[in-house]
Amino acid sequence: MQGPWAKEGAVTLAVAVVLIWLAPLMISTYTLTILIIYGMLGFSLGLIWGFGGILCFGQAAFFGLGAYVYAIAAINFGESTWPMILAVLVPAGFALLLGAMMFYGRLGDVYLGVITLVVTLILFKFINSTAGPQYVIGKARLGGFNGIPGFQTLNVPGNPEAYIWGDAYYYVCAALLVIVYLLVTALLRSSFGRIALGIRENEVRMSLMGYDIAARKTVLFAIGAAIAGLAGALFANWGEIVTPGLFSLGQSAEIIIWCIVGGLGTRVGPILGAAGLAYLKFMLGQQSLIDNTLIMGLILVLFVLFLPKGVVPAVASLWKTSFGRRPFSRVHQARRMRNRGRGNG
């Protein structure tokens, strides 16, 4: 990191610190924590979909897996450091296997979507049916539909008595999101990230240039899963219970809506989309006139029809045409990527 990158990193850090400091003045830290966790989840799909061109309909599978792994490991270990690490590694490993199976099989976009969806369903059905006492991992009962309550929540590493909760937990989550964001920025700046963008734009050309497409897509997929797993572990700590609902199709749908609304091909878009829509849902949850699902569905349909680029790129291009010297290519990238599917029909 040098030159303009160091500058961008510093600016990101400064903006993030100000936001993290100001936000609790308006919204309670309890709500903010979940917004940040959802932001991280949205970010994980935004990375693999927006920058890798991998449309995964089952990002919730990795989220749920992270949460379950954390809960099970926390009950068995009685502290939270190793469970956090496992909650990142296990979903990543699972994604490596799944991704290798899909990408080395050269499956198309649609099949990818269907397989990830089906895998999510399998996990959902399986976890839902584990109510019996025979489903035990170590000391933890899987609990079926009721989920797993009462596990050790986050503590200071090495000191299981010192819990991190409330405001402190909010700052931990926010810091983790900033770290993940900076790491992903660095990743996208590296040659790996550049090649991933190349694969998104034109897979055949990149493979003719000698890059191993399948391996690179698999690794990117696993990185996305690792971030989703981290978000899942943080969610488990926030909710203090994990249920099979984490694996549900509705959860997967929401992640995709966040990305579409926020804007694909940008880093902040999915985070803002996730936090914004989650907050909207929170506000809507306080009224009972109109069903929540209906509004989310309507938002998705309207965005696909009228603003398929998403909010952040639209605002950015508006800003550029109003104040900038020349339109930046990022918007075009997003559009080109979304057009890619058109040729297949």
Partner 1 sequence: MDLSVVILVEMLYAVASLVLISSGLAVVFGMMKVINLAHGEFMMMGGYVTITAVGLGVNIFVAMLIIAPLVVGLIGLVVERLVIRHLYGRLVDTMLATWGLSLLFIGLATMIFGNTTTGISTPIPGFTVGNYQINGYNFFIIVVAVVLVIAMLVVLKSTRLGLIARGTMQRPDMAAALGYSPDRIYMATFFCGSALSGLAGAVLAPLVGLVPTSGGAYIAKAFITVIAGGPSLVAGLISSASLFGVVNQVFTFAISPVFGEVALLVSAVILLRLLPQGVTAKFFKGKM
- Residues making contact with partner 1 (CB under 8 A): 55, 101-102, 105-111, 113-115, 117-119, 121-122, 125-126, 128-129, 249-250, 253, 256-257, 260, 290-302, 304-305, 308, 338-342, 344-345
- Give the shortest CB-225-to-partner 1 separation in angstroms: 17
Residue 278 CA to residue 265 CA, distance in Å, equals: 21
- Give the shortest CB-298-to-partner 1 separation in angstroms: 6
Sign of CA dihedral 216, 221, 222, 228: positive
Residue 200 contacts residue 217 (beta carbons within 8 Å):
no
At 305 the three-state DSSP class reads helix
At 134 the three-state DSSP class reads coil
- Residue closer to partner 1 by CB (options 145, 319) is 145
- Give the shortest CB-325-to-partner 1 separation in angstroms: 32
- Give the shortest CB-296-to-partner 1 separation in angstroms: 5
Residue 231 CA to residue 113 CA, distance in Å, equals: 22
Residue 234 CA to residue 67 CA, distance in Å, equals: 7
At 284 the three-state DSSP class reads helix
- Residue closer to partner 1 by CB (options 22, 283) is 283
Residue 103 CA to residue 92 CA, distance in Å, equals: 15
- Give the shortest CB-49-to-partner 1 separation in angstroms: 10
- Residue closer to partner 1 by CB (options 79, 254) is 254
Residue 72 CA to residue 135 CA, distance in Å, equals: 12
Residue 268 contacts residue 313 (beta carbons within 8 Å):
no
Residue 313 contacts residue 263 (beta carbons within 8 Å):
yes
- Residue closer to partner 1 by CB (options 189, 332) is 332
- Give the shortest CB-48-to-partner 1 separation in angstroms: 14
- Residue closer to partner 1 by CB (options 158, 343) is 343
Residue 40 contacts residue 230 (beta carbons within 8 Å):
yes
- Residue closer to partner 1 by CB (options 81, 292) is 292
